[in-house]
Structure 1
Amino acid sequence: MTQSPHEISVAFERFSVKVHIASSDIAFPPTSVWSYIEEYALEDSGLGRRLREKVTGRKIELYGRNQDHLLTFLSSPQFTGAKTHMANLYQKDGFDDYVLVSGGTATDSYDVLLFNDGAELTYLLGPTPDTAYRDAFRVLTEESAPEAHARTAQTHFDSGRYREAVLSARLAVETACGGRGPDVKRRLADAPADVATAGKALYGKRHVAVHEGDTRVEQPDAVQAIRAMRRVLDYLADNSS
């Protein structure tokens, strides 16, 4: 059996069937989900890997350049040895480690979330300062992880994805400080008051974005988050030694 976003082909012993997937013109708003990598046994004794949403366990379906490229991305934590340091990446609960998928969706149901292909679709394994994981299906450029996340934050903001902009802004600061929240607190311990205030404000905006429910992330929130991100990054760049 082969499958693409537009067609499923199944070959039986004496005949084959092709099912064309019809999609409506209804455009769902861009969304972001935290997911984990599920490993499962294959018939040939190997391991298969797929994405499921954290907490709910919903199956996450998406297509990169091709199926092999997606499988390479999902296998990369094991090949690089990062799996031993990112155990939560394979667990349904907890957000210490995750794959963050953002973009427009074609299907958003109780058991499956299918993302559309296109420029809006981004994939990020985090939190990690390792630039090899950013924009997993994109061509890597020579930029640091903080620069990549800061660029992504601005791109999300320009496209009206304010929640994603806040999350990327916080990731830019975290990776610049060492990788995680406690690293930010440590690096900003002796920072001037305006820098420390910016760091706290950005954390507050990120907290709302992660646990968004009754409270929405609006444009002013994203503006404040990006300004705070730039203030902290400028301070870190001036005090890198």
Structure 2
Amino acid sequence: MKPKNSALAGSPNQSVAKALQILRVFTQQTPRLRLKDISQRTGINQATASRLLATMREQGFILQEGGYYCLGWQEVLRMEGVVLQSMSLRRLSMPYLEQLSLLLRKNVNLAVLDRTEVVYLYRAEGEEGSRGYYHAGMRRPAHCTALGKVLLCATPEQAEPMFEGVGPRRFTFSTITDREAYMAELEKTALQGYGTDMEECIHGYNCVAVPILGLDGGVCAAISVSGPSNEFGLDEMQRLLPHLRNTAQKILLQLGSGEDCV
């Protein structure tokens, strides 16, 4: 005799899938949502969403503040720490990034690509670097960052979704929003082996980035250095590029010892 619900054997648990769908609906732009909002954004009816939210609240993954829900910071941050510590790339790169930041006295960033966004894994703070707001896991659009150009230049087809619909957002007057111009920029980045951001993301700041290669020879991550545009121009970038490339090579050798890129 077949077990009950045999038609669902091997299929994902729908309650778990819906719970994960609810967790994903919270973003930096929408950190607090009402039940009605969650239902509309996920397509899950309010009764089911309410039950799932109650269960996740009991487990500490959701907090309720009046009529609004948000992620439970204690459990989410605990898991974030576990994830960051498990990433070989981040763990192996940290001492080299700190050394480079100390040498250059500037902020040094480590990032990977998630579709059309740059995800920052680590920042080594330099004495002369801009402090600003930063946290591991922070995202920036790939189209306006030196890191994004480096991460996309080997596979420019991945940049195509950015130019669909209304196209990429313009952050400054220098932001590249034209598809042909951006593709030409990716080709230039691939040929020269480094990418630049000349006030394309933040007015008054320039950035230069170089790739970190994976075991397969492809670009798996990138590191960057940034500074005020009035003192960090192309000449200064050229002066610092050997230091960035040397650091990227050291990290590559560590990954070559058998560690996965991420």
* TM-score under structure 1 length normalisation: 0.27
Greater per-residue helix proportion: 2
